[in-house]
Structure 1
C-alpha cells in the first residue's frame, strides 16, 4: 500500500489520510461493554513498534483504535519509544478514548496527538454503567478535560457498526448527557454547550484531517451560527430537533 499511494493523494471527495485504525491485531481493544475489558497481549508493544517505525520512516499519519485507558497508556509508551517524548512529526489520532485518564490526555497533548470521540455511550451507556458504575460513567469520555488540555477533538458517530449515523443523536448525547433510552449518564459539569458540540462535529472533525479550511471554515463575523430553526427538517424526529434548537 505504501508503494501505491501517499498521504494527501485524492481529492475533496476521497483522500488518503494515513494508516489506521487497526495497525496491529494485537493492539485492537474492542468496545463491547457487555464484555469485560480485553487485555492486550504482551506481544502488542513489539508488533505495534514495528508498524509505527515503518510508518514513521515514510512520514505517514496514523490513528489507533483506543477505547480503554489500560490500552491507551501502553500505546503512548510505544509512540514515545519510536518518536521520543516530543512525539511524531506527523498527525496521529486516538479513536474513541472513552476511559482515557487525565494523565494520558496530558501525554497526548505533549505528543501532539488528536482525539476522535463518538456517541457510542448514547447506545451503550446503561451497559457501561452496570459494569463500571455511575461515577466512571459520569466522565466517559472526558471530552471537557480533553479540551482543557488543548487536545484537538473531533466528534463523529462511528456509524454504522456500533451506533447510528444520525448526527443529531451524537449532538443530543453530548449536550444533554443522556442515552437514547433517556438515562442520564453525564452530570452538567461534564456536558458541552450546543455551539461547542456543533463545532466539534464540524470544524473539529475537519481539523483532525487538516481539512478545516476547506470543509468547515469559520463563518464571517456576524453570520448566524444556529444549526437549525424550530421548523427544521432533519434525519431525526422533529421533536428531537426542536429540543436541540429550543433556547
Structure 2
C-alpha cells in the first residue's frame, strides 16, 4: 500500500471538522516530503483543507454551507505535540470559563514550559507565556487554576473578594487527589499563590497534613497584600495576608 493510500485511508477515519497534522497521520519524518505532495493532491480534490502550516481538516458540509473547525479544534494542534499535551489556555479566556470574569479576550494566552507558542492567524490570536511546570493532560487544569490565584488582582470586571469567593467554591468541589495535586504544584508558584491557596483551603475546612507544606514554604516576614477584610477570608492572618 502506498503512503498516499495510507494517508487517504487514515483521513477517512477522521470526523468532519477535526484538525489533524503529520503526527495524527502517523507519518515518519523521512516521509514528510512525499506526504506533503499527497496532502496537496487531497486539497485539490476538496477532501481536506489547510488551516495553517502542517495542519489540515475535513470540511463539514451543512445546508448552510461549509463549516470551518470550531475554536477548540483550531486551537488543539498548538496544545499537543506527538499526541501529548504540552500547553494549555490561560489568562482572561480561562478565567471567564472559570466564572471569574465576564470579559471577553481579544487575544488569548497559551502557557507551555518548553516552547513559546504565539498565534496570529485569522481570528485565532494568542501570546505565549511560560508555565510553572511541565504541562501534561493530568495537571493542566490545576495549573490554569493556580494561574487564576497568581493573577487575582489583575482579573477584570471583578474584585479580589469576589474572586476569592468563586475560587473557594471551585476548591470545595475538588476531590482529595485533585486537592493534593493543587498543593503539589502551588509549591512551584510565587509565595502570594501559596499563601492564598493555603488560606482558602483552611477556610473551607481542609485539614490534610500536606497543607503544612504550604505554610512552611512561606516567610513569616513577607506579607501578601490583597485588601481583604476579615469576613471575606477569616483565615487570612494565619497565612500572612493583609
Does the TM-score normalized on the shorter chain lie above 0.5? no
Length-normalised TM-score, structure 1: 0.31
Which is greater in Rg? 2
Length-normalised TM-score, structure 2: 0.32
Q: Which has the higher strand share?
A: 2
